[in-house]
């Protein structure tokens, strides 16, 4: 029964081409800004060095994978909000379908949609990198990226799930989606690298879960181009660059590790899912 609800979500989502487009709108905007002028600005002093284009293309595309995980799940949960606004949820409640089954179906459908759209984003990202002389990821790197993608979609989906439980109309959800899509580039340190932001804004970026997904993607996708660009460079130069570009984050005197970012995403998925479930339970009373 859960699968039937999930299949319905998949059909409704991919049938609505406008919804699919707006799910990827933030990604398309970031790519457009990067191609038009952000690319040259961000390259800075590294411009002209061998492998710089490969490095910076990998940086922006890794960030896009993090962004896609939340914007696409936002679009998928729009189906649940739309069902609520049209009182379709009441029809479901009058049927033999259990509430837990219905919610589970929405969650499964949203996860599948998030993974499909994230994989599509990844394919276009790789084609973009290759088109400008970069190398495609290896099978081992793809396996690591896929694992991060699963965790990222789970985490982002749980955040959006909680948001969706408080929204009663499709118009309100569209407004929230627009605001989030506008802010997401700043919250993940893509429009402006985190090292160029004021300290207060940096702190916001560092505690935003999706930023940790972006950092994990960057650690995989930028590993080889970093070795090319910084071959023979002092370790401090590499470390400072990673901090400035959000490849790793620093809390006090401690640098984040991949395990730390993984735990942040896992904890976010569990906590926000629990809060969303609690929110739904209270609305039933």
pLDDT tens per residue across span 147-177 = 999 999 999 999 998 898 888 888 888 888 8
Q: Which pLDDT does position 271 carry in this prediction?
A: 93
Q: Which pLDDT does position 174 carry in this prediction?
A: 82
> Do 248 and 193 touch, CB atoms closer than 8 A?
no
Q: What is the DSSP letter of 134?
A: P
Lowest-pLDDT range, 62-66, 90-94, 119-123, 228-232?
Answer: 90-94
Helix axes 52-85, 139-165, angle to 10 degrees: 30
pLDDT for 222 beyond 90: yes
Q: Which pLDDT does position 219 carry in this prediction?
A: 95
pLDDT for 198 beyond 80: yes
What does the alpha-carbon distance between residue 254 and residue 242 come to, in Å, rounded to a whole number? Answer: 14
pTM of this structure: 0.89
Closest CA to 81 of 186, 184, 165, 199: 165
pLDDT for 1 beyond 70: no
pLDDT in tens, 50-107: 778 888 889 989 988 998 899 888 888 888 888 777 776 655 555 666 666 777 788 8
Q: Which pLDDT does position 33 carry in this prediction?
A: 73
Lowest-pLDDT range, 123-127, 135-139, 209-213, 231-235?
Answer: 231-235
Q: Which pLDDT does position 197 carry in this prediction?
A: 84
- Phi and psi of 135, rounded to 5°? -95, 145
Residue ranges of domains in the chain: 2-284
Closest CA to 132 of 43, 23, 29, 263: 43
Residues 248-262, mean pLDDT to the nearest whole number: 92
């Amino acid at each position: 029964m859960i699968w039937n609800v999930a299949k319905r979500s998949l059909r409704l989502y991919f049938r609505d081409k406008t919804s699919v487009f707006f799910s990827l709108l933030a990604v398309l905007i970031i790519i457009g800004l990067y191609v038009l002028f952000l690319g040259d600005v961000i390259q800075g002093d590294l411009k002209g060095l061998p492998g710089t284009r490969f490095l910076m293309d990998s940086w922006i595309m890794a960030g896009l994978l993090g962004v896609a995980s939340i914007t696409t799940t936002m679009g998928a949960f729009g189906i649940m909000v739309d069902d609520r606004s049209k009182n379709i949820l009441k029809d479901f409640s009058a049927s033999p379908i259990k509430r837990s089954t219905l919610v589970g179906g929405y969650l499964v459908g949203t996860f599948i949609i998030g993974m499909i759209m994230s994989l599509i984003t990844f394919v276009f990202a790789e084609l973009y990198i290759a088109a400008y002389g970069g190398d495609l990821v290896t099978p081992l790197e793809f396996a690591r990226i896929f694992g991060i993608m699963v965790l990222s979609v789970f985490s982002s989906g749980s955040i959006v799930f909680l948001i969706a439980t408080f929204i009663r109309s499709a118009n309100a959800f569209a407004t929230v989606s627009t605001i989030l899509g506008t802010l997401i580039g700043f919250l993940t340190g893509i429009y402006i690298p985190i090292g160029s932001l004021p300290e207060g804004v940096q702190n916001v970026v560092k505690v935003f879960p999706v930023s940790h997904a972006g950092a994990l993607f960057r650690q995989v996708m930028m590993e080889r181009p970093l070795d090319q660009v910084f071959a023979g460079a002092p370790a401090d130069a590499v470390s400072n660059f990673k901090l400035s570009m959000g490849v790793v984050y620093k809390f006090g005197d401690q640098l984040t590790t991949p395990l730390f970012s993984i735990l942040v995403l896992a904890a976010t998925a569990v906590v926000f899912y629990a809060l969303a479930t609690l929110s739904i339970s209270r609305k039933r009373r």
